[in-house]
A and B are shown apart, each in its own frame.
Chain A
């Protein structure tokens, strides 16, 4: 099948307008008869379900958590980008578009990214109207800050809880529709298959996680808004429940998977403390606005951070990238930290950490504050005290979180940080309309592959999730459903539903009957270690080939020896997890194959064979300027399809942040 991205005609800046002006519409009387299934209730899912409900569609929304308000979008800290140019610093839709394409290392579609930048401003308007309490200046207007990979201040935020506030906004819009009866909410439900009738997605099989019962749900269209798959690495900043299962079921039914190996490793996370570690915690990128990253100039320096004098510190990002300094994009910052630690300059007990130091910022802010009151000759204790107050206002909750986890006070001693898996740019392949290769099956937010190329810029995930849900799918879904107005609801005793349910049930029974000796958790950890060691921050041919063999072996072992306690028809989190890990194992294999195929470095994907003399990532546009869309062809087998990328506006060049 040839991949058609369906990019509308016309100038880049006119494509979305042209699309909106020519798209098919569904009249209100018909909308009431059309049913839409939305799986996942994070920013993308909640905003889509709410918007579609408002428009008059009959919506069913599903989440595995006990409430839609708990989706992992809630944990996003730093902010959301929008091309408002409220700071008068030269921002524009074009700049945001340009930064995103460049930041993504020229592996995203220009048309999609332009639209994202275009609708970004409306997101802020919508959220403010919903009562989202963004940070404000004393004059009452919205405040902005800067984020990595950009030179303007376009990030809107609510302290370090921006994701929470945006999600609660979308959640409240969703609950309003639930109250109005346009959306029916199914919490503690997990989607376990897509039901296909005549080549179209027509519903899902879901499992009630409390009773264990399987349910059939019809929909004229199905939207997967199920987030990313970073937990394939076991340790990541994702929530414990975040998984690939819904997307993977769709993949197995024929939806292509785009750029699976593109993983974002976030540079500033709290380091691993031991084998018991169950997840990693991010310290927002916004901290790099004020924190300076350094390691000792001397290898294996065991002195405390505060005892190392200024001249013996290596501020390696400022040294290597003077133009962007500590605000280089995430992939660049992560690799630089790994490089220093691998060379033996790491700090802390494990030596796998670098310092993020706020001392200079505290002094700088303290002096400014003292100056405001005319106290030009304030003593250093006063300056520190005033400065800490400013820093607390900006990042207080992050500093508290750091202290709770590590027991160290970051106002007094630098934070220790290390990169961790955070986001996956890869995902289900979608066209401009967010439709997968299965008609009637859509994918929104982090679950799709579309807008971030090989590296996502900070504060762009929230933007994309809400853009897809509030401002894109309401238009593009109508274009499909307009042709479905004559399709009556299909009863769920249709053979396709019976067959899909039977397959799901058989698989669950098979898992439960293995009765082996190894826990799901222990096998997930093993998968994570293979992925992190061989398909993590740096990848090479030999490692990837080994990983592929190891994962195949692990898969065989899992289906022979996994041990799942409890029963099927009860609340059984171990069974839920087993199904997810089984899917992660298959995904891990595909990620390694994709990484092996991409014999170039770009964005978060760093192939050791492809680097410049000074160790920077080296792209190979001639051979790899395409989206790798993988079609599953059976057990451990895939076929690669290529969607060529062409760049009309942002001409690819070697990214430089020097």
Chain B
């Protein structure tokens, strides 16, 4: 792969903490290699800021291989930037060219308050999982793994839903700030597996209730979440979640 260097202008959202107002600041960076990752660009910029006695830009990141779900930049109006099915850490600078201006913002959603700069609080997702995103099986209670054959089709579909990395790009990209793709992926995974049947209905009801309580918006079927999801989680999961929710509501004894 041919590589090249570029000079760029970055407009980055700076916000000291959750209480203060933020604003964009512009930075010039030079000689950026097309082989760098997008986060390595931020490493370079931060080293420059530290050298100049300025406050480096805070951003969440950890594994830098697209699986932990920590990185969360809104780049030129797209969650995780221009590439499809991709996280910010896996975006590489060959996606840009010399002279480009790149605008970087945090995830913006009522349920994801800003902590600092590009870092937001996504603990709402943990609380939704606490509401029912599990199978209640204590350690040591399991039968032999092969005592429960599962149709490969169902296992594969459950895996596809389970591939969600909990990054929150779906929420950030949705004009309503809806978390339905995230919530439906977990509800789908567990409802498609035989192990998930005993708690199937309470799970759907409780997770949806917690989602609403956290202040996430509703779904109006724009499919933006699926388009921006780094793991390609399908909106079919949202349809399934709606069915699960309806089914649970109709069967409810309350």
Contact = CB atoms under 8 A, between A and B. Distances in A.
A633 B116 CA distance: 41
A126 B137 CA distance: 8
Interface stretch (A70-78, A355-363, A457-465): A70-78
B102 interface: no
Given A176-B134, A274-B35, A276-B40, A66 B60 contact: yes
Contact of B158 (A131, A408, A574): A131
A142 interface: yes
* Interface range, B side: 35 or more
A274 B89 CA distance: 17
B68 A566 contact: no
Interface in A210-242: 210, 237, 239-241
Given A125-B143, A126-B137, A136 B40 contact: no
A429 B197 CA distance: 43
Interface stretch (A160-168, A538-546, A621-629, A640-648): A160-168
A573 B58 contact: yes
Contacts of A274: 33, 35-36
A185 interface: yes
A161 B67 contact: yes
Nearest to B146: A141
Nearest to A168: B162
B70 interface: yes
B55 interface: yes
Contact of A276 (B16, B36, B70, B119): B36
Interface string A312-353: 000000000000000000000000000000000000000000
Given A50-B139, A70-B70, A130-B195, A277 B163 contact: no
B134 A130 contact: yes
Contacts of B1: 406-408
Interface in B42-98: 43-44, 46-47, 49-51, 53-56, 58, 60-70, 83, 85-86, 90, 92, 94
Given A133-B189, A142-B146, A273-B35, A571 B58 contact: yes
Given A67-B125, A401-B66, A131 B143 contact: no
Contact of A281 (B65, B156, B196): B65
Given A130-B135, A521-B43, A565 B150 contact: no
A566 B148 CA distance: 55
B10 interface: no
A470 B130 contact: no
Contacts of A86: 146
A176 B136 contact: yes
Contact of A159 (B65, B83, B135, B159): B159
Given A133-B158, A133-B189, A522 B64 contact: no
A194 to B, nearest CB: 24
A304 interface: no
A391 B253 CA distance: 49
Contacts of B40: 276-278
A635 interface: no
Contact of A128 (B47, B62, B126, B148): B148
Nearest to A138: B152
B227 interface: no
Contact of A67 (B116, B137, B138, B166): B166
A470 B140 CA distance: 8
Residue of B62, B115, B195 with most partner-chain A CB within 10 A: B62
A548 interface: no
A287 B95 CA distance: 28
A54 interface: yes
Contact of A401 (B33, B90, B116): B90
Nearest to A282: B65
Contacts of B64: 239-240, 278-279, 281
Contacts of A519: 47, 50-51
B175 to A, nearest CB: 24
Given A131-B196, A175-B134, A404-B83, A565 B54 contact: yes
Interface string A159-197: 101011100100111011011000001010000000000
Given A66-B60, A137-B152, A179-B131, A276 B33 contact: yes
B34 to A, nearest CB: 9
Contact of B68 (A74, A124, A176): A74
Nearest to A238: B63
A51 interface: yes
B195 A179 contact: no
A137 B146 CA distance: 11
Given A66-B60, A276-B43, A571-B17, A175 B90 contact: no
A139 B158 contact: no
A125 B137 CA distance: 11
Contacts of A549: none
Given A129-B135, A571-B58, A571-B115, A401 B65 contact: yes
29 contacts: A54-B138, A65-B68, A66-B121, A68-B126, A84-B145, A122-B142, A124-B145, A131-B193, A133-B158, A136-B149, A136-B155, A142-B145, A161-B163, A172-B129, A175-B133, A175-B134, A187-B123, A239-B64, A240-B63, A240-B64, A273-B35, A278-B40, A407-B1, A408-B1, A519-B50, A565-B49, A565-B54, A565-B55, A571-B58
Given A131-B196, A566-B55, 10 more contacts: A66-B70, A66-B121, A67-B125, A74-B67, A134-B155, A136-B150, A140-B155, A159-B159, A172-B129, A240-B63
Interface of A: 47, 50-51, 54, 65-70, 72, 74-75, 84, 86, 122, 124-131, 133-142, 158-159, 161, 163-165, 168, 171-173, 175-176, 178-179, 185, 187, 210, 237, 239-241, 273-274, 276-279, 281-282, 400-401, 404-408, 470-471, 474, 519, 521-522, 563, 565-566, 570-571, 573-574
Interface of B: 1, 16-17, 33, 35-37, 39-40, 43-44, 46-47, 49-51, 53-56, 58, 60-70, 83, 85-86, 90, 92, 94, 115-116, 119, 121-123, 125-126, 129-131, 133-146, 148-152, 155-156, 158-159, 162-163, 165-166, 189-190, 193, 195-196
